[in-house]
């Protein structure tokens, strides 16, 4: 079989925020501070979960996985964006773009499945508290974690293969600060309609499945609360599930606006704002949300901070 060069484009140009040259330095400082704060918050949460014996439970095991994903998500895109803002180095190779796209979609997909797993974990904790540790065992936690990461990687492999086997022979300017699905599809010289349908179908099936698991889990939680109607149960349930439900709403809202729609409705300026919400602000807010609404995490973080102070 004769091998065919699938692309005549050897590199892409990430336009990103280059249309705001007057505030480029200000944006660099702002995004650098957000990125550093994101790393600091999630790394601190990971250290607290791994070192504090009070947090060695299934809920915090999954929360540790979420913090790891929240470290990876901005790390995939933000350093390149900061380099473009400071040094105006906006070029990225074809295979560099492919790798960035694959990594980001893998992280986003894994987080979708992980949030569904965390919802199931909260359902067991509220509806079957006496059997919680026997149902959500260490072995099940490990299997669920491996399954979410594997599903995210396979989903990303499918999306990446569908997009980067297209023909790119014309414009190479990506109207985004990283290699995302809609702006890359917009540059293809070949027809993308059939592949868009496949991408939407796969994303719809997998995303809706995870969403259904999350929704059903919270319906059962609500029914359990209404059936007991004992004093203080609403407060207890909210302290148990409030953080996760807030993160789910924030994450699903931004990702659906970005990916679950045809490319004909693609708007570069709107997509940059939305992508920054789930790519930068969501990973920053997640550890804050869990810290503010969880007494055990607060106490663990205080112990970690006090240990660091004493060490210094």
Model confidence band, residue 297 (pLDDT cutoffs 50, 70, 90): confident
Mean pLDDT across 206-214: 86
pLDDT of residue 10: 81
pLDDT digits (tens, 9 = 90+) for 146-172: 999 999 999 999 999 999 888 888 778
Half-sphere exposure of 25 (CA within 13 A, CB side): 1
Half-sphere exposure of 38 (CA within 13 A, CB side): 27
pLDDT of residue 250: 73
Domain ranges of the chain: 11-311
DSSP assignment string, 25-72: HHHHHHHHHHHHHHHHHHHHHHHHHHH-GGG-SHHHHHHHHHHHHHHH
The contacts of residue 250 (CB under 8 Å, 6+ apart) are 277, 278, 282, 285
The contacts of residue 158 (CB under 8 Å, 6+ apart) are 202
Going by DSSP bridges, is the β-strand pair 91-93/11-14 parallel, antiparallel, or unpaired? antiparallel
pLDDT digits (tens, 9 = 90+) for 53-63: 888 889 889 99
For residue 306 the two structure tokens come to 């006090």
What's the CATH fold of domain 11-311?
A: Rhopdopsin 7-helix transmembrane proteins (1.20.1070)
Rounded-to-integer distance, Cα 312 and Cα 308, Å: 6
Which one is predicted more confidently, 101 or 253? 101
pLDDT of residue 35: 93
Model confidence band, residue 231 (pLDDT cutoffs 50, 70, 90): low
- Pick the closest to residue 66 from 240, 202, 248, 300 (CA basis): 248
Rounded-to-integer distance, Cα 125 and Cα 170, Å: 54
**Between helices 268-276 and 233-259, what is the axis angle to 10°?**
150
């Amino acid at each position: 079989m004769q091998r065919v060069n699938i692309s005549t484009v050897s590199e892409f140009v990430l336009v990103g925020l280059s249309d705001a040259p007057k505030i480029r330095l200000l944006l660099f400082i702002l995004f650098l501070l957000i990125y550093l704060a994101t790393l600091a918050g999630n790394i601190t949460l990971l250290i607290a979960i791994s070192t504090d014996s009070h947090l060695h439970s299934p809920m915090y095991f999954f929360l540790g996985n979420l913090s790891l994903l929240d470290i990876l998500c901005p790390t995939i895109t933000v350093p390149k964006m900061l380099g473009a803002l400071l040094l105006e180095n906006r070029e990225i190779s074809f295979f560099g773009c492919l790798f960035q796209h694959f990594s980001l979609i893998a992280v986003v997909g894994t987080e979708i499945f992980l949030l569904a797993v965390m919802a199931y974990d909260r359902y067991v904790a509220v509806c079957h508290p006496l059997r919680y540790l026997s149902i959500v065992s260490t072995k099940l936690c490990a299997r669920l974690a491996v399954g979410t990461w594997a599903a995210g990687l396979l989903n990303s492999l499918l999306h990446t293969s569908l997009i980067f086997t297209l023909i790119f022979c014309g414009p190479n300017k990506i109207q985004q600060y990283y290699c995302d699905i809609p702006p890359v599809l917009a540059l293809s010289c070949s027809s993308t309609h059939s592949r868009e349908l496949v991408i939407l179908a796969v994303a719809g099936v997998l995303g809706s499945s995870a969403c259904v698991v999350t929704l059903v889990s919270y319906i059962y939680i609500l029914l359990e609360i209404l059936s007991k109607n004992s004093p203080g149960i609403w407060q207890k349930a909210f302290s148990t599930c409030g953080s996760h439900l807030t993160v789910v709403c924030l994450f699903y809202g931004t990702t659906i606006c970005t990916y679950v729609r045809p490319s004909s409705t693609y708007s570069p300026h709107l997509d940059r704002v939305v992508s920054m919400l789930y790519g930068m602000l969501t990973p920053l807010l997640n550890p804050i949300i869990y810290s503010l609404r969880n007494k055990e995490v607060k106490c663990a973080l205080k112990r970690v901070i006090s240990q660091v102070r004493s060490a210094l």
